[in-house]
Amino acid sequence: MQGKVAIVTGAAGGIGAGIVRGLGAKGVKVIGTGRTEAKLKALKDALGSSMDFDYIAADITAEAAPKAIVDKALASFGRLDILVNNAGSFNFGPVDSTTDEMLDEVLAISARAPFRLSREALAHLGAGSSIIFIGSTWGIYGPPGGGAYSFVKAGQIGLMQTMAAEYGAKGIRSNYIAPTVVRTEMTDAYWELDFFKRTNFELTPADRQCTVEDVANTVAFLCSDEAGMINGQTIAVDGGISTTRYVAPEAVFAERK
């Protein structure tokens, strides 16, 4: 991993900043991107001399963003080995109450933008490279209210798999991580709500909640040579919520009014 160069989108967000730190700990140089320059600068200041980090503020949905982001990586660090498509916006709502604006926003940020950025990056990736999607468990099962969000998160799996097929033989691996809920700005407002606890923690056979580091460690592993035979995979980092029918005993035996 030492000396490799990564682009991380949504780098100053909760999971993004964890991914930056996780890659930095392995000696990877990182270009972070996101819309808010102040957040990226604060991250760079916080990282200090602990790793090589530079950034470019850009709305990832802008026409010129993919080329500008890749050009920045090449200008700052001279090569490109890893792309982590992490930026995203949460959009909760049943299909029948999802507006065109909600749909278009999610499609733009989580489908069109990562497609265009992956295409731009591919021209510079060689053997030993990785493209990672930070998808969601909501892309691999059907939660009520998933609406546009589940739709694009599932769609990212299709893009990941076709790139795995297309570029695997060139040594470029593509994989998708499906985290369960992690406490970040995206989920903070829901975290203490009863329905959120019931539909997440009470259905997860784990003794703790998922952390940013759980996701970041998986990214670092998937980008490493140790994961060299892992291509085209969807890896859930979810404590088992997506593959079991677990219900916490207190929920099973709870008296319903």
Ligand X SMILES: NC(=O)c1ccc[n+]([C@@H]2O[C@H](COP(=O)([O-])OP(=O)(O)OC[C@H]3O[C@@H](n4cnc5c(N)ncnc54)[C@H](OP(=O)(O)O)[C@@H]3O)[C@@H](O)[C@H]2O)c1
One residue of 1, 73, 154, 182 binding ligand X per CB under 6 A: 182
Our measurement of the distance from residue 95's CA atom to the centroid of its chain's CA atoms, rounded to an integer in Å, reads: 23
The backbone torsions φ and ψ at residue 129, rounded to the nearest 5 degrees and listed phi first, read: -90, 165
Task: For residue 239, state whether it binds ligand X (rule: CB under 6 A).
Answer: no
Does residue 139 belong to the site contacting ligand X (CB under 6 A)?
no
Determine which one of 55, 149, 167, 176 is catalytic. 149
Angstrom distance (rounded) from CA 83 to CA 102: 26
6 binds ligand X, rule: CB under 6 A: no
Query: Among 23, 71, 5, which Cα is nearest to 212's?
Result: 23
Quick one: which of 20, 23, 60, 84 contacts ligand X (CB under 6 A)?
A: 60
Please answer whether residues 110 and 148 qualify as being in contact, where contact means their C-beta atoms are separated by less than 8 angstroms: no
Residue 197 is a binding residue for ligand X (CB under 6 A)? no
Which of the stretches 41-49, 119-127, 185-193, 249-257 binds ligand X when contact is defined by CB under 6 A?
A: 185-193
User: Binding of ligand X at residue 211 (CB under 6 A)?
Assistant: no
Query: Measured at the alpha carbon of residue 140, what is the angle toward residues 11 and 233, in degrees to the nearest 5?
Result: 70
Residue 29, SS3 per DSSP = strand
55 is catalytic: no
Instruction: Measure the CA angle with vertex 23, ends 17 and 28; round to 5°.
Output: 125
Instruction: Single out the residue of 22, 24, 34, 66 in contact with ligand X (rule: CB under 6 A).
Output: 34
- Supply 138's token pair: 């909501």
Q: Work out how close the CB of 257 gets to ligand X at its nearest, in angstroms, rounded to a whole number.
A: 30
CB atoms under 10 Å from CB of 175, counted, come to 25
* Nearest-angstrom CA–CA distance, 10 and 14: 9
91-120: contacts with ligand X (CB under 6 A): 109
**Which residue in the set 26, 35, 79, 198 belongs to the binding site for ligand X (CB under 6 A)?**
35
Instruction: Pick the piece of the chain touching ligand X (CB under 6 A) from 57-65, 95-103, 159-167, 248-256.
Output: 57-65
**Footprint of ligand X (CB under 6 A):** 9-10, 12-16, 34-36, 39, 59-61, 86-89, 109, 134, 136, 179, 181-182, 184-187
Which residues carry out catalysis?
149
